[in-house]
C-alpha cells in the first residue's frame, strides 16, 4: 500500500462526501473538505485551475469505479453527477436515487444511502492511496492535465538570456522550493484559510492537521504574529515593501523551507479594497532576495530557489503586466547569480501573458508529478 493511503480513513472521508451530498456540487467551494482536496491532488493529473473542479473530478472518478448497475446509478443521482442534476436540491436527488431501488425515500435514507456514500468514500481512499489515474468506460480520462511548468528564456540586452521557471498551478502545490513568497497587506494580516487568495492558500497548506483532517495548529499565522510582536508592529502598519520571514508549517513536508511575506497591498481607507504600486512590488521582490541571502548562512544546503506569485495583482488590482514588469526589474540582476528564480500562476492564460510581457522564448516544461505531501 502507498504511504499516502494512511492519510485517508473511510469514516473521515465519508463525512466530507456526506457534506457534498447535502450541499451539492455547486456549493463545493463553500465547504471545508480538507481530505477530499488532498485526495484530489494525490491522484496524478488532478490539477485544474479551481480546486472545486479537482474535487468533483475525484468524485466522478470514484463513482465510475462502482461497476455500473443500481449502485452506480444511485451514487450519480445522490451527488448530482448526472446530466442536469448538479443544482438540484438534496431532497430531489435523494428521491430519485430511492426510485432506483424502488423503495421509499425514508428507507433509502436509513439504509441504501449510507451504503452508497460509503462505497464512494472507499473508492476515494483507494484512488488517494494508489495515485491511480481513473478513466471513464469510454477510455476518456476523468482527471485534468498534470501540473505544468514552463522554462522561460528571458532576453537581456548585451547579455545571455536569463532562465526563469514559470509554474502553472495553484501555489500550494509547489514542492522542493527553498523560499515561497506570500503576498500580504501592510498590516501583515493573513486572510482566513477558506479564502481563495495566495496568502490564504499558503496558510491553509501550512496548517497542521490530525488524522481526521481537522486543523490542530496554525504555525504560519502564529510565526507571523510573533514577528510583528518582535518588531513592534502588532498595532501599526509596516512600510510597503517590507518582508517578514516565517517557517513553512506543514509545507515543510513538500520541501518548502521558508515563507517570505511581502507587504505590498495598502488598504484604501473606508473601503474593503487595496492598492499596490509597481515600485512597492519591486522593493519587496528585491528585499526577498536580500533576506534569502541573509538567511541562507543558517541553512545547509543554502537557500537558492525562490518562487514569486504575481505580487499586487489580486485584490490590490495591479495589472498583471505591471506586476510582472516590476518583479522582473528586481529579479533580472539576480538571474544567473546563484539564484534559481521561479514564478507561479494558476491559469494558462495568465502564464501566456507573463511570457508575452517578458518577451520570453519558451522551452516546453516537463510534466511535474503531484506532490506526495499532506
H-only helix segments in the chain: 10-23, 34-42, 51-64, 69-79, 90-100, 105-110, 112-130, 198-206, 219-230, 278-296, 320-331, 348-358
Question: In this predicted structure, what is the pLDDT of residue 364?
Answer: 52
pLDDT digits (tens, 9 = 90+) for 225-244: 999 999 999 999 999 999 99
Name every residue whose Cβ is closer than 8 Å to that of residue 102 and which is 6 or more positions away in sequence.
Answer: none
**254 has pLDDT over 80:** yes
User: For the residues 87-92, what does the mean pLDDT come to?
Assistant: 93
**Of all residues in the chain, what percent carry a pLDDT higher than 90?**
58
**371 has pLDDT over 90:** no
H-only helix segments in 150-271: 198-206, 219-230
Name every residue whose Cβ is closer than 8 Å to that of residue 275 and which is 6 or more positions away in sequence.
Answer: 265, 266, 268, 316, 317
Question: In this predicted structure, what is the pLDDT of residue 10?
Answer: 87
Nearest to 243 by CA among 281, 277, 278, 206: 281
User: For the residues 134-159, what does the mean pLDDT come to?
Assistant: 63
Question: In this predicted structure, what is the pLDDT of residue 337?
Answer: 79
pLDDT digits (tens, 9 = 90+) for 130-142: 554 444 444 434 4
User: For the residues 247-271, what does the mean pLDDT come to?
Assistant: 95
pLDDT band at 157 (very low <50, low <70, confident <90, very high): confident
pLDDT digits (tens, 9 = 90+) for 48-61: 446 788 888 889 98
pLDDT digits (tens, 9 = 90+) for 304-326: 999 999 999 988 889 999 999 99
Question: In this predicted structure, what is the pLDDT of residue 88?
Answer: 92
Domains along the chain with CATH numbers: 3-130 (no CATH), 148-364 (3.40.220.10)
Question: In this predicted structure, what is the pLDDT of residue 166?
Answer: 95
What DSSP state is assigned to residue 304?
A: -
Nearest to 372 by CA among 42, 73, 104, 147: 42
- From residue 49, how far is each of 81, 248, 255, 282, 345 by CA, in Å? 20, 23, 22, 27, 10
- Say whether pTM exceeds 0.75: no
Question: In this predicted structure, what is the pLDDT of residue 373?
Answer: 57
**81 has pLDDT over 70:** yes
pLDDT band at 181 (very low <50, low <70, confident <90, very high): very high
Amino acid at each position: 500500500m502507498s504511504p499516502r493511503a494512511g492519510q485517508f480513513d473511510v469514516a473521515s472521508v465519508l463525512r466530507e462526501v456526506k457534506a457534498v451530498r447535502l450541499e451539492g456540487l455547486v456549493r463545493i467551494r463553500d465547504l471545508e473538505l480538507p481530505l477530499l482536496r488532498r485526495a484530489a491532488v494525490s491522484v496524478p493529473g488532478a490539477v485544474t485551475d479551481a480546486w472545486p473542479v479537482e474535487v468533483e473530478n475525484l468524485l466522478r472518478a470514484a463513482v465510475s469505479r462502482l461497476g455500473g448497475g443500481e449502485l452506480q446509478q444511485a451514487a450519480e443521482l445522490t451527488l448530482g453527477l448526472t446530466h442536469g442534476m448538479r443544482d438540484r436540491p438534496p431532497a430531489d436527488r435523494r428521491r430519485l436515487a430511492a426510485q432506483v431501488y424502488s423503495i421509499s425515500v425514508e428507507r433509502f435514507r436509513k439504509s441504501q444511502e449510507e451504503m452508497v456514500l460509503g462505497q464512494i468514500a472507499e473508492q476515494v481512499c483507494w484512488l488517494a492511496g494508489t495515485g491511480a489515474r481513473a478513466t471513464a468506460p469510454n477510455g476518456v480520462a476523468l482527471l485534468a492535465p498534470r501540473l505544468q511548468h514552463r522554462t522561460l528564456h528571458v532576453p537581456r540586452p548585451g547579455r545571455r538570456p536569463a532562465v526563469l521557471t514559470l509554474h502553472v498551478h495553484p501555489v500550494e502545490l509547489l514542492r522542493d522550493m527553498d523560499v515561497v513568497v506570500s503576498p500580504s497587506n501592510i498590516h501583515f494580516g493573513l486572510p482566513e484559510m477558506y479564502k481563495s487568495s495566495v496568502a490564504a492558500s499558503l496558510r491553509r497548506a501550512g496548517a497542521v492537521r490530525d488524522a481526521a483532517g481537522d486543523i490542530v495548529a496554525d504555525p504560519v499565522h502564529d510565526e507571523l504574529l510573533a514577528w510583528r510582536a518582535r518588531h513592534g508592529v502588532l498595532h501599526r502598519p509596516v512600510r510597503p515593501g517590507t518582508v517578514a520571514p516565517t517557517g513553512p508549517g506543514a509545507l515543510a513536508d513538500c520541501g518548502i523551507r521558508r515563507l517570505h511575506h511581502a507587504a505590498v497591498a495598502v488598504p484604501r481607507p473606508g473601503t474593503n479594497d487595496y492598492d499596490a504600486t509597481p515600485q512597492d512590488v519591486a522593493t519587496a521582490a528585491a528585499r526577498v532576495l536580500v533576506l534569502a541571502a541573509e538567511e541562507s548562512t543558517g541553512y545547509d544546503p543554502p537557500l537558492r530557489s525562490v518562487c514569486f506569485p504575481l505580487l499586487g495583482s489580486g485584490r490590490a488590482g495591479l495589472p498583471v503586466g505591471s506586476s510582472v514588469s516590476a518583479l522582473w526589474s528586481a529579479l533580472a540582476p539576480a538571474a544567473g547569480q546563484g539564484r534559481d528564480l521561479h514564478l507561479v500562476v494558476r491559469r494558462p492564460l495568465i502564464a501566456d501573458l507573463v511570457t508575452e510581457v517578458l518577451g520570453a522564448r519558451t522551452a516546453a516544461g516537463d510534466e511535474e508529478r503531484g506532490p506526495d505531501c499532506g
